[in-house]
């Protein structure tokens, strides 16, 4: 074709966005159609992209975030303007807080109308709203800048500490045309968006010296360590040093939870007693009591831990965020742990047997108590009765992905169900946000092709339950298990005036399984351990969309779960 003929050929913003995504290896879009992106989604599907559409933008956003975590490439969520954008914003902020690479792309009103506040359809300054809630935010006004805009979004989402990025595409951008030759030259294939960041040798030496000096060392693995995919290096370090380790919930499975050095069953003991703690991709936030108080063996709630801290993190501003960090090691997790492995040397002394023996004794005592609790075949089921089934199922199918949300359902599950492979547990993360269940489940099934078991409290399920239609529409191998105890925390709350339902009470004996049946999936009511096991076995074997309504004793829960201390009223009450 001649140069003149090429110049006469044109493309538009719709196809340029598609081409830019495909050039960068992005083949899946999570979305909810509407003005101005409906035609874009049709075109993307026609061009061979996988377009997964949801019933609510927040769930599409959560799916994109989980996609980013599981693949190490940014998950893409497209929404309509204003209300749709706001619905997706919760997922974007949650992705940023959890350090998941995600890009929220929203159509928007025209700049000249928004800036003069002239009252356009769904008029909103979306860029200004998104900017403080994500890692970066960009707007593209001209079709020739689409390649640059997407490249900047990808690099921002993946570089350094990953996070959420907002990309604003005004409606008229899609219809803009330009020559195919100009369009081709405007696209950018992002090269090495998350380059290795090597730790300083002196930082590695300082950390090793401090670890060697410890009498009671401990390693805490965070989800940053899981995201880093440095599984072999981390295992080598743990086993070569002999140091006990404590995995945070989404780091479970980096090494099997049954590993002899895993201290999960003695969590309170090791946190209170350790004298040197190495954090690997974990933050000293509220999930670790900010490194202060009695959890860490300190004398008062505001007193810092007695332990000296080694912090391995990609962010140079993370150390000292709550307590003093004695030995920061800054760089990507894989490079840092590899450097630490090289620095260990042949003269390494494993931790004192008195320390590891004390941990083993606590573990044995706690595990024995848990085994006795799980063996009780209560009727109606308690959380532990039902979770004993999930525990056995995950042991038999370690390749399955476990999605978990709720209050009591989350707390008991995370301490009961052992994980055996990395990145197989997805839960509410840093914010403890409810509603991630169905979005995460859809992404997990699509990305892995493995069975997904979504264990949700009945309250948590309510945030995204309509997405069971999405699961059925795409025929995904997802088994949703709703722990149904008739309410938030418990189903026993009553209104003393008797005029309407209590704030935490739901409809008694709700038939959640019929929701899945309504859309062509399998719905099962399970009131006993045997019925629950049979239902999950069938779901995993068949791969059919399934919802199991697991009937839990409505007296079983405790208000606020295990974060009662954060609830001023509940802290004054005794659990029922």
**Given the DSSP bridges, would you call strands 10-12 and 177-179 parallel, antiparallel or unpaired?**
antiparallel
Q: Is CATH 3.20.20.70 what the domain over 3-186 is classified as, yes or no? A: no
Q: Show Cβ contacts of residue 186 under 8 Å, excluding neighbours closer than 6 positions.
A: 16, 144, 145, 146, 147, 148, 178
State the pLDDT at residue 575.
42
Res. 554: pLDDT tops 50: yes
On the question of pLDDT at 190 being above 60, the answer is: yes
- DSSP H or E segment with residue 533: helix 529-542
More confident residue, 1 or 388: 388
Residues 201-243 pLDDT 10s: 999 999 999 999 999 999 999 999 999 999 999 999 999 999 9
**Given this model, what pLDDT does residue 559 score?**
83
d(CA 225, CA 280): 6
CA distance 394 to 537: 11
With tokens 């995904």, the residue in question is 476
The CATH code of the domain at 376-572 is: 3.40.50.970
Which DSSP state fits 297?
Answer: T
Taking alpha carbons only, the member of 151, 269, 266, 270 closest to residue 218 is 270
- Exposure string for 524-536, b = 16+ CB within 10 A, e = fewer: bbbebbebbbebb
Neighbour count for residue 289 (Cβ, 10 Å): 18
pLDDT 10s digits, 98-123? 999 999 999 998 888 888 898 888 88
DSSP character string of 454-523: EEEEHHHHHHHGGGHHHHHHTT--EEEEEEE-SBSS-S----TT-SS--TTB--TT--THHHHHHTTSEE
Query: Alpha-carbon distance 89 to 388, whole Å?
Result: 36
Q: Find the Cα–Cα–Cα–Cα dihedral 411, 413, 416, 422, rounded to 10°.
A: -110
Which is more confidently placed, 378 or 446?
A: 446
Q: What is the 3-state secondary structure (H, E, C) of 201-252?
A: HHHHHHHHHHHHHCCCEEEEECHHHHHCCCHHHHHHHHHHHCCCEEECHHHC
Whether 11 has a pLDDT exceeding 60, the answer reads yes
Predicted confidence at residue 112, as pLDDT, reads 87
pLDDT above 90 covers a percentage of the chain that reads 88
Average pLDDT over residues 521-526: 98
Give dist(CA 450, CA 268) in Å, integer. 34
Residue 118 is predicted with a pLDDT of 86
Q: What is the pLDDT of residues 239-296, one digit of tens each?
A: 999 999 999 999 999 999 999 999 999 999 999 999 999 999 999 999 999 999 999 9
pLDDT at 566 over 80: no
pLDDT, residue 87, reads 97
Digit-coded pLDDT (tens) for 449-506: 999 999 999 999 999 999 999 999 999 999 999 999 999 998 999 999 988 999 999 9
Q: Is residue 17 over pLDDT 60?
A: yes
Q: Are 108 and 462 in contact (CB under 8 A)?
A: no
Question: Rounded to whole angstroms, what are the CA distances from 484 to 20, 327, 368, 381, 561?
Answer: 45, 46, 27, 10, 15
Q: Which residue has the higher pLDDT, 387 or 4?
A: 387
Q: Residue 330: CB partners within 8 Å, gap ≥ 6?
A: 197, 199, 200, 203, 313, 314, 315, 316, 319, 336
pTM above 0.85, yes or no: yes
Distance CA 457, CA 487 (A): 9
Confidence at residue 299, expressed as pLDDT on a 0 to 100 scale: 83
pLDDT, tens only, 48-57: 999 999 999 9
How high is the pLDDT of residue 3? 53
Question: What CATH number has the domain spanning 201-360?
Answer: 3.40.50.1220
Residues 6+ apart with CB under 8 A from 499: none
pLDDT digits (tens, 9 = 90+) for 26-63: 999 999 999 889 999 999 999 999 999 999 999 999 99
State residue 7's pLDDT score: 54
Average pLDDT for the chain: 94
- 533-542 pLDDT, tens digit each: 999 999 999 9
Domain boundaries, the chain: 3-186, 201-360, 376-572
- CB-side exposure of 217: number of CA atoms within 13 Å? 23
Q: What is the pLDDT of residues 73-107, one digit of tens each?
A: 999 999 999 999 999 999 999 999 999 999 999 99
Calculate mean pLDDT across residues 381-396.
Answer: 97
């Amino acid at each position: 074709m001649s140069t003149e003929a090429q110049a006469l050929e044109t493309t538009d913003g719709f196809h340029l966005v598609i081409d830019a995504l495909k050039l960068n290896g992005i083949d899946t879009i999570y979305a909810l159609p509407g003005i101005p992106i409906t035609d874009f989604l049709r075109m993307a599907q026609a061009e061979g992209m996988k377009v997964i559409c949801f019933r609510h933008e927040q769930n599409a956003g959560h799916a994109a975030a989980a996609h980013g975590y599981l693949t190490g490439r940014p998950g893409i969520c497209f929404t309509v303007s204003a209300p749709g954008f706001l619905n997706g914003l919760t997922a974007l902020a949650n992705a940023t807080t959890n350090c998941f690479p995600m890009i929220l792309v929203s159509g928007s009103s025209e700049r000249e109308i928004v800036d003069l506040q002239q009252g356009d359809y769904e008029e909103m300054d979306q860029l200004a709203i998104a900017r403080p809630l994500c890692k970066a935010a960009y707007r593209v006004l001209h079709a020739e800048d689409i390649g640059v805009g997407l490249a900047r979004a990808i690099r921002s989402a993946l570089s350094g500490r990953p996070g959420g990025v907002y990309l604003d595409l005004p409606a008229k951008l899609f219809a803009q045309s330009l020559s195919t030759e100009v369009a081709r030259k405007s696209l950018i294939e992002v090269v090495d968006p998350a380059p290795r960041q090597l730790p300083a040798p002196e930082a590695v030496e300082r950390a090793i010296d401090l670890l060697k000096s410890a009498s009671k060392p401990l390693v805490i693995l965070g989800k940053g360590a899981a995201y880093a995919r440095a599984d072999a290096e981390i295992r080598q370090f743990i086993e070569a040093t002999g140091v006990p380790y404590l995995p945070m919930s989404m780091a479970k499975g980096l090494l099997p939870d049954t590993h002899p050095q895993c201290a999960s069953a003695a969590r309170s003991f090791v946190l209170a007693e350790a004298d040197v703690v190495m954090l690997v991709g974990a933050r000293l936030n509220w999930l670790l009591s900010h490194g202060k108080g009695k959890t860490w063996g300190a004398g008062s709630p505001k007193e810092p831990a007695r332990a000296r801290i080694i912090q391995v993190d990609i962010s140079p501003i993370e150390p000292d965020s709550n307590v003093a960090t004695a030995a920061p090691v800054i760089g990507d997790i894989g490079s840092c742990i590899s450097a630490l492995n090289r620095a260990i040397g042949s003269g390494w002394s494993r931790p004192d047997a008195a320390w590891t023996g004390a941990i083993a004794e606590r573990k044995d005592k706690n595990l024995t108590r848990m085994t006795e609790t799980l063996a009780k075949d209560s009727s109606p089921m308690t959380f532990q009765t039902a979770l004993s089934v999930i525990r056995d199922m995950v042991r038999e199918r370690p390749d399955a992905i476990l999605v978990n949300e709720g209050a009591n359902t989350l707390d008991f599950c995370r301490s009961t169900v052992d994980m055996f492979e990395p990145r197989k547990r997805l839960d509410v993360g840093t914010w403890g946000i409810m509603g991630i269940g169905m979005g995460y489940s859809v992404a997990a099934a699509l990305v892995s092709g493995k069975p997904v078991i979504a264990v949700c409290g009945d309250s948590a399920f309510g945030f995204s339950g309509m997405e069971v239609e999405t699961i059925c529409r795409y025929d995904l191998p997802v088994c949703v298990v709703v722990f149904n105890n008739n309410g938030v925390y418990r189903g026993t709350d009553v209104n003393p005036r008797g005029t309407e339902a209590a704030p935490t009470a739901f409809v008694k004996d709700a038939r959640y399984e019929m929701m899945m049946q309504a859309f062509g999936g399998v719905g099962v009511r399970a009131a006993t351990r045997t019925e629950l096991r049979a239902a999950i076995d069938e779901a995993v074997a068949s791969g059919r969309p399934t919802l199991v309504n697991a009937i839990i004793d409505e007296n079983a829960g405790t208000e606020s779960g295990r974060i009662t201390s954060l609830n001023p009223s509940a802290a004054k009450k005794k659990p029922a």
